Every structure is written in C-alpha cells, then in structure tokens.
Amino acid sequence: MREWLPDPLARRPLAPLAAVAATLLLWHLGAYGLWESTEARYAEIAARMVRSGDWMTPRLNGIIHFDKPPVAYWASAASMAALGIDELAARLPLVLASLAGLILLYRAGADALCPRAAAFAFLTLLTSPLWFALSRSLTTDLYLTVSIVVAVDAARRGTRPGGSRAWRILAWTALGVGFLTKGPVVLLWTALPLLGWAAWTGSWRRAARLADPLGPAAFALVALPWYLVEAARHPGLMGYWLGGQVEGRIVEPYRGEVEPWWSYLATLGWAAWLWILPGAVGLWALARQRDRPGGRFLICWVVLPLMAFSVFPTKRANYALPALPAIALAAGWWWDRAVAGVAPAGGVLLRALALSTAGFGAALLAAGPFVRDVPREISSLGWLFGPGFVLGGVAAWRATTRTRPDLAFTACLLPLAGLYLGLVGSLAHPRVEDWSKISRPLIRQIDVHRAADEPIVNYHVWLRAIPFYLDELVITVSEEGRLTLFETDDRWRKTTFTADSAFFRMIAGSERILAVVPAGEVDVIRRGEQSVVVLARDPRYALITNRPTPTERALVSDRPPAGAARSGPTDP
C-alpha cells in the first residue's frame, strides 16, 4: 500500500477509500428527478407503503404489484419514513448498500489476496460504470449483488479448515436476503458457481461443509415468510410467480426484447470499462494456478451464470452486475502483481490501458461537433473532460515507462471519477431533465395547472413518477392495461382502461381533466376535440387539458420547442 498512499493512509486504507466512495456516490444524489420507468416504479411502490401503512403488499398506483419481492421496496420505504418522501431518501439505501458491498469486497480481498489487491479491487468496482450507475438508480440488482458478495465470502470463510459455523449460517442467511430481493436468481449466482468450482477443482468435501442443518433453516426463516403469507392471502400468486415471473422470463423474451447470445460479452466490455482488461487477464492467470483453487471460483462466478443467462431470451445489462465483484477482485490481484513487477502481460497491458484512456479522451473531444439534439450541459462534458482523459493516458504511459503501475492506475482512474461527477451534476439541469427520461419537469407543470381533485390521465403513456410526486392515483388508458388478477374489489376499474374510447369520452366530457399524451399524438386528439390545449410539453410527451381556463388560453403557447421530436436515452 505504501507505494501509492501516504504512510498515514497506508496504515488504515479502508477509511480513505470509503470516503472517496461516499463522495462519488452521494454527489447530487437527490438533485435530479426519478428516471422513468424502473426507478419511478420502485420509488412509488415504496412511497405507497409509507403513505398507506401497508408494508406487506406492494402496490403501484393503487393496484397490487407482485413483479418483485419486497427488499428494495422496504429499504426505500424505511428511508422515506425516516427522512421524508423525496428522491434523496428513495436512493439513499442504495448508496449505503453500495458502500457496504465495496467494504465487504475489500475485506474479502484483503483476507484472500492482500490489502493492496483489495484496495485496487475496491476502486475498480466503485468506478465500473454499471456499478456506479446502479448504485444511484433504484433497482433490485445492487441489493442482490451485495447479498451474493456476503454469501460467497461467508461460505469461503466458513468452509476452510477451522472455519466457524457462524460463517456458514451467515452464508445461508445472505442467500435468504437475496431470495427475498429477486427470487431464485440468487441461486444461479451462488449454487451454480459453487457446483462448477467443486467439479473443476475436486473440492466436493469442502463444498459439502455448507450442508449444515442450521443453514437451510436460516435461509427459510429469512426468505420464505413473506412469500408464504402473500401466497396465502392471494390465491394463484404462487402460480403467477413460478409461471409468469420465472418460467415466463426463461421461455419467452420479456416484452419482445431479444438480444444475441453473445450480448453479455459486449455488456461486460462497457460495464467494467477499461478495468475489464486487467480483470480478464487476472481471471485467466488465476485459473492456471493449481495451488490457489479460489481463483478458479472467480472464473466460475463470472462465466457460468452469464452462460446460463445467455441461453435465456431476455437479456439486460443489469443482469450482469453480480459478475463485477469477481472481475474487480481479479483486476485487483493483477494490479497488485503489476506493482510487484510480476503481472502477466504487465508492460503490454499497462501500455494498452494508457492508450485506451487517451483514445477515449480523444473520442470525447472529436464527438463534440457531431453531437446533435443533446443539451449542451451533456455535450460539453466531452470538451471539459476529454482533455483530462488524454492527459491521464499520457501520464499513465509515462508512469509505465518508469515502472510505476500504481501511478498509471491513478492516472486512468481520476479522469473517470471526474466525468462521473460532471455527468451527475448535469442531470439536475432543467434542459437535461426535459431531454432525458426524467418526468419531474412535466409533473411540476401538472401541479401548477391542476386544481383540487381534477383527474390526471395517462393516455398511451404511463409515467410512474406522477403518483410518487403528487400522491394521487393516475387514470391510465393503454392497450397493455394492468394486471388486476389479485384485486379483491372493482375500484381499479375507475383508474384503468384499455380502450381509447374511454379517453375520448373523458376529453369530450364536461369535467376538466389533465392528460399526459405522446407528443406526436396531439394533432390526432385535436381532430376529435377542438377544445384541447397544450399546457406544457417535453421532447416525448405533452400535457393537455380539455377545458382550459381563460388564463391558460391567453398565456400558453402551443408551439413545440426546437428539437422536440427527439426522444431521450434509455434507463440507466
């Protein structure tokens, strides 16, 4: 550690590492609105738990929603119950979980490898784009990944010679938390690598030590009560989980999403950024060390679950997140070996990283003149941080020629951390929110124009953030409809429609409504109802009303802003 940290920090490296991580992850955490649709959906369900007092049954816009188990909802709900219902409180548990995962990874790496390798692994994982993004955007994947890290490290400690039974019970408990976070997929990331590793290394006896009777009991105690209670309260729910949520995702692509079998190879290429290079070389080198069978487990941790996911028709980038801690550990081992001067392909790989960092900066600079329909707060990041990457690449090259891999690592890392801070800082700008899939500016316009109890309608769109921000149920009109299988009364019929005729009856009626519609469908709606006025719009959606006030008629301009035809980027 002393090669790249001052002596006072080298004695206790975890404290400064955690401070760096907290700064990056907390920066502007609550400054920008919720992303549609995933983050807004999780936040609304959690907020509904706080507002209704029902923490057992998840509800989205008033309708029971059993797509995911409750851990992610409970975490955000607990935070909002303590701090208030807003974006910061909704996201804060994710940051805390991310910090916990990084610290646990460091401790595991320090125990299995060495403190210096663990520090490199910590920073590698922190600055991997997918980890950083999902540490600040509500999904289940980060909570699942942290539970996997706990389970794997506890199993490793509990099954080695002299390992405590408490570690083995902790491993099963962490599996239970993962099961309560995202269901059986946690077993794909733990049991499958364990079986593959045992078969590869012949370590069946060590793996069998996990068969402690108290372990499955701890798993069942944590994982099953919520499932059993809800299944008893809602007949048919178990069949929905097993058929629709498990088998359905395996057999058929979710909502028609189809990707090639090799898509996860491409995903890892950007999800881990340039760190994938030392990670891949480290995995390859560790796999060849017969005297260190633990290294082969890292290979199984990454490869076997992703091979299984590659067979399934539905493939999403966030599904690959649990592979990143293993890649980070392998990369940390490689950087430690590089500092010691014995890394495989050391000089070649260090120069490749330096050139790639500089090339990335040059690409950011060159892309500026060709970027169109992007707010200048985003496009200017290339001009601001591109030179930093170029200088970082040059500095990394010079450090390599002077046999200072630790400085080369720092030169590659600093411009990336700066880019993250700049990107996050730009998200709160109104132009960026309008352009991106953040619906908060449009929802603010709803709040400005809406009188008490006026219905809010979503026609051919479904902005999940509206009930979160306004604490109002939204009337949805969409061909997809909503799953109402588990509703016990007909109240949902007042807010959920599938036929367009229902919307046009509301538009033609005497009651004033506010409706969010696709921006491209405004003219079609007007042909059927001339009184419709556009109150606000962004590049994707328009806020309209059928009964404008005199003030609205006088003040509202119906001309779309320049570039309004473009849609924003996908969810982070």
Predicted confidence (pLDDT) per residue in 410-419, tens digit: 999 999 999 9
CA distances from 376 to 26, 154, 477, 559, 561 (A): 24, 48, 35, 22, 15
Q: pLDDT (tens digit, 9 = 90+) per residue, 359-378?
A: 999 999 988 777 778 888 88
DSSP alpha helices (H): ranges in 113-140? 115-126, 129-134
Please say whether the beta carbons of 106 and 329 come within 8 A.
no
Q: For residue 249, give the H/E element and its range.
A: helix 248-251
What confidence tier does 557 reach under pLDDT thresholds 50, 70, 90?
A: low
pLDDT of residue 241: 83
pLDDT of residue 221: 98
Adjacent-strand bridge partners of 516: 458, 543
Residue type, 408: A
Task: Find all residues with CB under 8 Å of 314, minimum gap 6, and list them.
Answer: 249, 252, 253, 254, 257
Percent of the chain with pLDDT over 90: 74
More confident residue, 400 or 242: 400
Average per-residue pLDDT in the chain?
A: 90
Look at residue 446 and tell me whether its pLDDT is greater than 60.
yes
Output the pTM of the full model: 0.92
- Window from 109-113, 484-488, 504-508 with minimum mean pLDDT: 484-488
pLDDT of residue 559: 47
Adjacent-strand bridge partners of 316: none
Q: CA geometry: angle at 404 spanning 403 and 409, to 5°? A: 130
For the segment 70-90, the average pLDDT, to the nearest whole number, is 98
**Phi and psi, residue 485, nearest 5°:** -60, -35
Going by C-alpha positions, the residue among 342, 305, 308 that lies closest to residue 325 is 305
- Window from 251-255, 290-294, 531-535, 553-557 with minimum mean pLDDT: 251-255
pLDDT of residue 561: 46
pLDDT of residue 243: 73
Please say whether the beta carbons of 134 and 318 come within 8 A.
yes
Compute the half-sphere exposure of residue 235: CA atoms within 13 Å on the CB side of its CA: 1
What confidence tier does 313 reach under pLDDT thresholds 50, 70, 90?
A: confident
How are beta strands 541-545 and 59-60 bridged, if at all? unpaired
Retrieve residue 57's tokens. 């049954």
What angle, 0 to 180 degrees and rounded to 10, lies between the N-to-C axes of helices 141-159 and 165-182?
Answer: 160
pLDDT of residue 301: 97
Look at residue 502 and tell me whether its pLDDT is greater than 90.
yes
pLDDT of residue 254: 60
pLDDT of residue 252: 64
Distance CA 362, CA 401 (A): 22
Buried b / exposed e over 69-80, threshold 16 CB at 10 Å, is bbbbbbbbbbbb
pLDDT of residue 272: 94
pLDDT of residue 92: 98
Residue type, 55: W
What confidence tier does 21 reach under pLDDT thresholds 50, 70, 90?
A: very high
Distance CA 123, CA 105 (A): 10
Distance CA 565, CA 195 (A): 52
Percent of the chain with pLDDT over 70: 92
Residue with tokens 């784009």: 129
Residue with tokens 């500095």: 395
CA distances from 296 to 175, 278, 335, 345, 507 (A): 21, 16, 18, 19, 63
Q: pLDDT (tens digit, 9 = 90+) per residue, 163-213?
A: 999 999 999 999 999 999 999 999 999 999 999 999 999 999 999 999 999
Retrieve residue 228's tokens. 């059993």
Q: How far is CA 455 from the centre of its chain?
A: 32
Residue with tokens 């239970």: 176
What confidence tier does 343 reach under pLDDT thresholds 50, 70, 90?
A: very high
* ω into 137 cis (within 30 of 0): no
For the segment 283-303, the average pLDDT, to the nearest whole number, is 90
Q: CA geometry: angle at 128 spanning 127 and 129, to 5°? A: 105
Going by C-alpha positions, the residue among 138, 147, 25 that lies closest to residue 77 is 138
pLDDT of residue 570: 33
Q: pLDDT (tens digit, 9 = 90+) per residue, 526-539?
A: 887 778 999 998 88
Look at residue 465 and tell me whether its pLDDT is greater than 70.
yes
Look at residue 45 and tell me whether its pLDDT is greater than 60.
yes
pLDDT of residue 275: 95
Please say whether the beta carbons of 507 and 528 come within 8 A.
yes
More confident residue, 91 or 311: 91
pLDDT of residue 123: 97
For the segment 107-135, the average pLDDT, to the nearest whole number, is 96
